[in-house]
A and B are shown apart, each in its own frame.
Chain A
């Protein structure tokens, strides 16, 4: 609850970051993000890049599922489309990586629009199941064609920026994190425009939205397209990061991971997407740390993989049962508490 932030123009009112405090925090955040790669070990740089890619993809899914209400289990398939596009372009034509990323995004976007077409006929769970079908069809395409390298997949050379190969986590950080930040900014801004508001209207009640004059087909397809564009770029970054793309790289369980990430983080808010992706990516590492610290750790280590599965499932169930609005809501509650705390009673 911020007091004293009076606005004198529409532009100022609609700004994303409007107060001095916010600008100060932004500056600190930017400084830390800039400093991080110089002090972090290779392992943490690796994790940071992975988290950034997941944040980008989760934000895309959030646009589709959190803001427009169209449940999709095909996010991994769209990432795969983007990744394969980037891999094919990079290995066959050696085109600059920014072009490849954009191309990956566009190809994924087209795929998303195609998958979105049934969304007019079917809603809710039926749509979710249709996206599962899309996932399998994509896998089939990846595994059975020469151009995608069949089941062996493709391995690609690193991206080149001004003659420097982006082949270490340190160097890739400077590609992945700015791209992710740009995408986050884009998503945040999207929901200040009428397109974003139309998405929210569709989520809340699509019949009323149509009555209000929002052409449903166009906006639903736009939502699918945007979300898969995000997925495509995230997939392209993934391809440059891992440098090997196989049909097994984007299984259905990855789509479930992203859906879980936005549920745990909080659907319908950009912060939720970020928190969810960070949390779900770091949980397996945290588990490993905990198991290492426990006495008798060696014997327990055998259980690490199944425990990870159980924790993953339990997190989804737990958040849905106890905190459906996710980590973002918990964060908001904590903030609210601290804002009021000196003045309670």
Chain B
């Protein structure tokens, strides 16, 4: 009966609204006297969980180190994370929840999609400096994204570092790009092709694999026919790289294989097995087990005796840069607004990260265009340095 249905619809709408209004959390600003709050949309579950767990631990540990040393100019640091499962709308909801319950100064975002979506909100808020797990080239634009920065080189710069290394090792080499059909994968390809040509290298083939593809045999055939000297993979974590390498080697390819940040975690590369021996790639940070002199690494090893991933390093460094910006702001007696924090970040010249990055860094824009080429050594199950620290 139509009448009943509609009346109950009205009733349920009203009940829903009442319930929502009654159960809202108190929007009192829950904060102790003068704290620095780091908010985080962290992908602790879902497809990016291996990174999210590491990032979370990294931020937590750095905050602990700082708080144990007395905080930043007497202010304690508080870290408020929320799990997002790597979904943009959940990330945004988490952001809104955290910022409505705390006075957030700096925020860590879990993805490129989130970074782009939340940008207008950041501008409106005006009090937050944001960084995240994304290295998307689009975010490396201080005019469009004035309140954000990348904790390392962007994907195009990562390619740039690899290409510079290749041009030095083998001038005029042929470099093939293999990337995934996603925004992550497509991000640096066009600009990198131009960069390659500018360095005197040629790009004989660019192969895009559909997301979630299982069988890459046809792509390997294409790759073999292009006979590149180097092949750079981008837009993947693990699959389908080992399959490419195995089939490529079986077909007699002589190419050297390289990857970008998210493939280059030690545990990921070791999963490649035999195929991964000699696999190279760009990594802006030191690995957990690097033995070169690095005071921060020693501290990390003291806190965490078991291997920590490069995602952990990323989170740790993000927290370090966040809190250094806050410190410089407070040193200059400036209020902690987004613009001031960003200006403080950009004032970092030849800043020593305690060895996390091998050279002192300068952040003039939105990214840190520094990295080193590492190579996998399967015999010792470690990534060893294959080049010096390259700055772009």
Asked whether the complex places CB atoms of A and B closer than 8 A, the reply is: yes
A198 CB–B CB distance under 8 Å: no
Question: Once the chains bind, are A158 and B120 in contact (CB under 8 Å)?
Answer: yes
**Contact partners of A242 in chain B: CB under 8 A:** 88-89, 92, 117
Stretch at the interface among A12-20, A85-93, A115-123, A229-237: A12-20
Interface of A is mostly: helix
- From A39, A328, A335, B21 is in contact (CB under 8 Å) with A39
Report the bound CA distance from A332 to B12 in whole Å.
12
A29 CB–B CB distance under 8 Å: yes
- From B7, B18, B24, A25 is in contact (CB under 8 Å) with B7
Question: Contact mask A303-345 → B, CB, 8 Å, 1/0?
Answer: 1111010000000000000000000100110010000000000
**Contact partners of B119 in chain A: CB under 8 A:** 155
- From A35, A153, A271, A305, B12 is in contact (CB under 8 Å) with A271
B99 CB–A CB distance under 8 Å: yes
**Contact partners of A328 in chain B: CB under 8 A:** 5
Nearest CB on A from B50, distance (A) = 11
**Contact partners of A39 in chain B: CB under 8 A:** 21, 24
Question: Once the chains bind, are B2 and A36 in contact (CB under 8 Å)?
Answer: no
Nearest residue, chain A, Cβ from B93: A46
Nearest CB on A from B305, distance (A) = 20
Report the bound CA distance from A242 to B53 in whole Å.
27
With contacts A32-B18, A184-B9, A271-B12 known, is A246 near B96, CB below 8 A?
Answer: no
Report the bound CA distance from A143 to B182 in whole Å.
9
**Contact partners of B11 in chain A: CB under 8 A:** 25, 29
Interface residues on B, range: 35 or more
Question: Once the chains bind, are A306 and B45 in contact (CB under 8 Å)?
Answer: yes
Question: Once the chains bind, are B8 and A248 in contact (CB under 8 Å)?
Answer: no
Report the bound CA distance from A153 to B100 in whole Å.
28
- From B17, B46, B99, B124, A33 is in contact (CB under 8 Å) with B17
B186 CB–A CB distance under 8 Å: yes
Interface of B is mostly: helix
Question: Once the chains bind, are A305 and B24 in contact (CB under 8 Å)?
Answer: no
Question: Once the chains bind, are B21 and A40 in contact (CB under 8 Å)?
Answer: yes
**Contact partners of B13 in chain A: CB under 8 A:** 29, 33, 274
Number of interface residues of A (CB under 8 A): 67
**Contact partners of A269 in chain B: CB under 8 A:** 5
Question: Once the chains bind, are A40 and B20 in contact (CB under 8 Å)?
Answer: yes
With contacts A41-B100, A42-B100 known, is A244 near B113, CB below 8 A?
Answer: yes
Question: Once the chains bind, are A47 and B20 in contact (CB under 8 Å)?
Answer: yes
**Contact partners of B92 in chain A: CB under 8 A:** 46, 242
Question: Once the chains bind, are A284 and B90 in contact (CB under 8 Å)?
Answer: yes
Question: Once the chains bind, are B2 and A42 in contact (CB under 8 Å)?
Answer: no
Report the bound CA distance from A244 to B8 in whole Å.
36
B10 CB–A CB distance under 8 Å: yes
A302 CB–B CB distance under 8 Å: yes
A270 CB–B CB distance under 8 Å: yes
**Contact partners of B21 in chain A: CB under 8 A:** 32, 35-36, 39-40, 44
Question: Once the chains bind, are A305 and B85 in contact (CB under 8 Å)?
Answer: yes
Question: Once the chains bind, are A152 and B93 in contact (CB under 8 Å)?
Answer: no
Nearest CB on A from B31, distance (A) = 15
With contacts A242-B117, A248-B113 known, is A32 near B17, CB below 8 A?
Answer: yes
Question: Once the chains bind, are A153 and B45 in contact (CB under 8 Å)?
Answer: no
Question: Contact mask B13-47 → A, CB, 8 Å, 1/0?
Answer: 11011101100110100000000000000001110
Nearest residue, chain B, Cβ from A275: B12
Beyond the given pairs A19-B7, A155-B116, 20 more chain A to chain B contacts, judged by CB atoms under 8 angstroms and listed by A's residue number, are A22-B6, A25-B10, A28-B14, A29-B14, A36-B17, A36-B21, A43-B100, A47-B20, A153-B183, A244-B116, A244-B117, A246-B113, A248-B182, A270-B5, A271-B9, A302-B44, A304-B85, A305-B83, A331-B8, A332-B8
Nearest 8 Cβ contacts at the A-B interface: A305-B45, A29-B14, A305-B85, A151-B183, A41-B27, A22-B7, A42-B100, A32-B17
Could you tell me which A residues sit within 8 Å of B by CB distance? Answer: 2, 5, 15-19, 21-22, 25-26, 28-29, 32-33, 35-36, 39-44, 46-48, 50, 143, 150-153, 155, 158, 167-169, 184, 188, 191-192, 242-244, 246, 248-249, 269-271, 274-275, 278, 284-285, 288, 301-306, 308, 328, 331-332, 335
